[in-house]
Structure 1
């Protein structure tokens, strides 16, 4: 990422927006939301701060835009013909994402003083509700292949997949590894095969 010192001027329009969002992400990754200022973002992006204020009224709006830009990234969803391999690929992709600058920034932001920004709630839903629904296609395929019970809840399988990774990162404060990914995939697979995520069973409880 570019440093705040020596930033070169950028052009107008989309280039300005991209430069400002990149600079905001860099500032968040380096100092967190508490240390974020429009002045530092402007200096890093190579623009005047009035240019930023014309597009974003305050830093809350700016951070909300950055979060929306990066949370929209979808993880690659493999189709190997095997649920075990698909879950392994998905877990490894999630681990790689949370270790990336956007991933670190987003996880830091949703548990910092930035949590009061309205967009944070949407970000959390994207991570733990919408995201698992989209990735649930790997479970749908497994059901169609006869690997899982027909009434398996795909989103529940994916939430279980990411739960150990999330716990290690946000609760223990440790970076997840490939070992974490492998263990998470095995937990989700074993539970799904055992019928833990059966919608029918859930209705009876």
Structure 2
């Protein structure tokens, strides 16, 4: 459900997510991001406090403030880490099976007791915080790019019309699952995953995602 240090805005330091740390720096980052993810899942974006994150992670407040600067900076780094840690795409040689694997992964993630509330919190925050929105967009760009080759290869095999926009097909798999998460209390189960993948495949074969001039 994605390193590096950054100070406050305008201090010339690297933005979170642009420098990959190692050793103790990596351990500090991992502890801080885990604490931040826990707090997001428990309390939402507006309950996220850098001092409390530092306490939970057993890290000095100065380190957290110097490195991430703001709550938005911390969330941006968390999303970067989540994108990098997400499972790689499946490659079964079948469009239906590849997209079903994607749907199952999305459903499993959003159903997770920690990851589901975390995503809800970040999505809610992105509606009112520009930096969080930018980080969320980058997260999904990474994930869509990971799975787009499934669709591109299907086009090459002749399973889909030429000119099919691969990224749109991948988004079409996830869209009904996120809508279900955010607007209902219905389970994100195997049936939901199969419907989402099947609908995306059917629409793609019908040419719904072919690029137009």
Return the TM-score normalized by structure 1: 0.80
Cα deviation, residue 172, structure 1: 2.7
Task: Give me the whole-angstrom Cα distance separating, in 2, the residues matched to 1:149 and 1:12.
Answer: 50
Task: Give me the whole-angstrom Cα distance separating, in 2, the residues matched to 1:185 and 1:35.
Answer: 35
Alignment-derived partner of residue 15 in structure 2: none
Q: 1:120-159 residue pairs with structure 2 within 5 A?
A: 120-127=133-140, 129-159=141-171
2:129 to 116, 129, 134: 116
Q: Kindly name which structure, 1 or 2, has the bigger radius of gyration based on alpha carbons.
A: 1
CA 1:59–1:160: 2 relative to 1, 3 Å? closer
Alignment-derived partner of residue 209 in structure 2: 197
Cα deviation, residue 14, structure 1: 2.4
Alignment-derived partner of residue 4 in structure 1: none
Verify the 8 A CA contact 1:88 1:181 in the aligned structure 2. Answer: yes
Task: Give me the whole-angstrom Cα distance separating, in 1, the residues matched to 2:165 and 2:127.
Answer: 33
In structure 1, stretches of 5+ residues that fail to align are: 1-10
Cα deviation, residue 37, structure 1: 1.7
Aligned-pair Cα RMSD in Å: 2.4
Alignment-derived partner of residue 69 in structure 2: 57
Question: Deviations for 1:100-135, whole angstroms, at most 9, x for unmatched residues?
Answer: 4345413321213784151422313532x4533431
Task: Give me the whole-angstrom Cα distance separating, in 2, the residues matched to 1:168 and 1:192.
Answer: 21
CA 1:196–1:30: 2 relative to 1, 3 Å? same
Establish whether residue 67 from structure 1 lines up as the match of residue 55 from structure 2: no
Verify the 8 A CA contact 2:51 2:61 in the aligned structure 1. Answer: yes
1:83 to 95, 111, 119: 95
Aligned length: 190
Cα deviation, residue 171, structure 1: 2.7
Establish whether residue 37 from structure 1 lines up as the match of residue 49 from structure 2: yes
Cα deviation, residue 168, structure 1: 0.5
Task: Give me the whole-angstrom Cα distance separating, in 1, the residues matched to 2:201 and 2:127.
Answer: 35
Return the TM-score normalized by structure 2: 0.78
Task: Give me the whole-angstrom Cα distance separating, in 1, the residues matched to 2:96 and 2:111.
Answer: 23
Verify the 8 A CA contact 2:79 2:135 in the aligned structure 1. Answer: no
